[in-house]
Amino acid sequence: MTRAILTVNSGSSSLKLGLFSENLDMLAMGHVDRIGRREAAMKLTGADGASLPLSETAPEAFATNAAALETALDAFRADFDALEIVAVGHRIVHGGLKHAAPEKVTAALIKDLARLAPYAPLHQPHNLAGIRAAIDAFPGVPQIACYDTAFHRGHPFVSDVYALPRAYYEKGVRRYGFHGLSYDYIESELARSEPDLHAGRVVVAHLGSGASMCALKGGKSIASSLGFSALDGLPMGTRSGELDPGVVLYLMDQEGMGAAEISDLLYKKSGLLGLSGISNDMRTLEDSDDPHAAQAIAYFAFRIKREIGAMAAALGGLDGIVFCGGIGENSARLRAEVCADMGWLGIDLDAEANAQSARDIGADRVRVMVIPTNEEIIIARAARKVLSL
Ligand code: ADP
């Protein structure tokens, strides 16, 4: 029996499982994409990155995050029955005020984290369902919670606060920022391979179904485009991103909408989907001739561009930009739109390198990089540390 650590990462439209040896060598990865859609598909890859064979699976097996997790765990178990799972690490989107460092899951912790679900409804319930499913699948095995909010908890006050009466800040109405496990990985990768850039001023754009940006100064997060809930900042697949709070008041007063309806609108019907009227999926939008698809992409790119300028100001200059996440890593078109006409800030792209999604795609003073993120290894490292494996 080989002892292994399993990682579970339930995104808003995807599920990623990782399998690592106790020495943190990657043994396998599982990825379910486009959950809830007809095109949903699962891929398992081995340590060498080659695909592992999978039995035919009906789309219903990926109808919900919970179903996709069951299906993926079954596939893992079939392929790796000689492994003893000694820990399961989970990505938890919201740790709130009380939870930052990775910790062992208890019944009380699950209850506590469930209270934060309204602020990340597309993730937190799936994250907790993942914990429950993993407890059932691996009874008695320690489960470790790793928080997406943790990386940003050292924000300076001005990046942590909203200009509301002070009592709300004390109650926890703060800018938590999310995607922290991804930023943690990019930070560790820069520290390992680009120490000079790591010591400088870097904007990281995590662009997936959920999207945000983080300003790194000497490897520390000093600002994030996401705030109190997973709605702020950039538009996302189905989320609005930054919105004048007056719009919410209008929806209540003039359109007679209640909290549940507004939540549904802002989390599930807005963003790329709402603007295009076609899809929340960047690949589908890029393949479409509909002008509304092009407009949705243009708005996304424009908000990222604006945020780069804002973060450069917060950082006191800019040495590098890193693109990551499904869109950041793969969409040459989006990266080109974002970086167009940015020569004033020292940003230009090498068109050929960008078309190939090469690691270095910049052609001016500011380094522009594409670094595939790896939240799984951050979760596995954390689980190993918490359990002193
Ligand atoms: P999640 O937040 O669910 O983890 P991902 O990081 O997997 O999301 O990113 C999903 C997004 O990445 C989708 O909008 C998808 O269309 C986009 N994407 C994936 N591959 C490509 C590609 N080759 N070109 C453009 N967009 C892509």
Instruction: Please tell me whether 343 is known to bind a ligand.
Output: no
Span from the CA of 308 to the centroid of ligand 1 (angstroms)? 21
Active site residues: 148
For range 106-134, the mean pLDDT:
92
Kind and range of the H or E run holding 369: strand 367-370
Instruction: Please tell me whether 385 is known to bind a ligand.
Output: no
pLDDT at residue 46 tops 90? no
pLDDT in tens, 304-337: 999 999 999 999 999 999 999 999 999 999 999 9
Query: Phi and psi of 26, rounded to 5°?
Result: -75, 130
Residues having CB closer than 6 A to ligand 1 are 11-14, 208-210, 237, 281-283, 286, 325-327, 330-331
| Predicted pLDDT of residue 326 | 94
DSSP conformational letter for 62: G
Nearest-CA residue for atom 23 of ligand 1: 330
Domains of the chain: 2-147 (3.30.420.40), 193-375 (3.30.420.40)
pLDDT in tens, 207-227: 999 999 999 999 999 999 999
Instruction: Please tell me whether 22 is known to bind a ligand.
Output: no
Q: Which ligand 1 atom sits nearest the alpha carbon of residue 11?
A: 3
Report the residue among 268, 282, 374 best suited for mutation to probe ligand 1: largest number of ligand atoms under 8 A from its CB: 282
Report the residue among 183, 331, 335 best suited for mutation to probe ligand 1: largest number of ligand atoms under 8 A from its CB: 331
Span from the CA of 197 to the centroid of ligand 1 (angstroms)? 26
Report pTM.
0.94
Span from the CA of 190 to the centroid of ligand 1 (angstroms)? 23
Query: Phi and psi of 15, rounded to 5°?
Result: -135, 130
Span from the CA of 316 to the centroid of ligand 1 (angstroms)? 31
Instruction: Please tell me whether 281 is known to bind a ligand.
Output: yes
pLDDT in tens, 10-41: 876 788 999 999 999 999 999 998 888 888 88
| Predicted pLDDT of residue 12 | 67
Q: Pull the structure tokens for residue 356.
A: 């190939």
Report the residue among 304, 330, 334, 357 best suited for mutation to probe ligand 1: largest number of ligand atoms under 8 A from its CB: 330
Q: HEC profile for 112-161? A: HHHCCHHHCCCCHHHHHHHHHHHHHHCCCCCEEEEECCHHHCCCCHHHHC
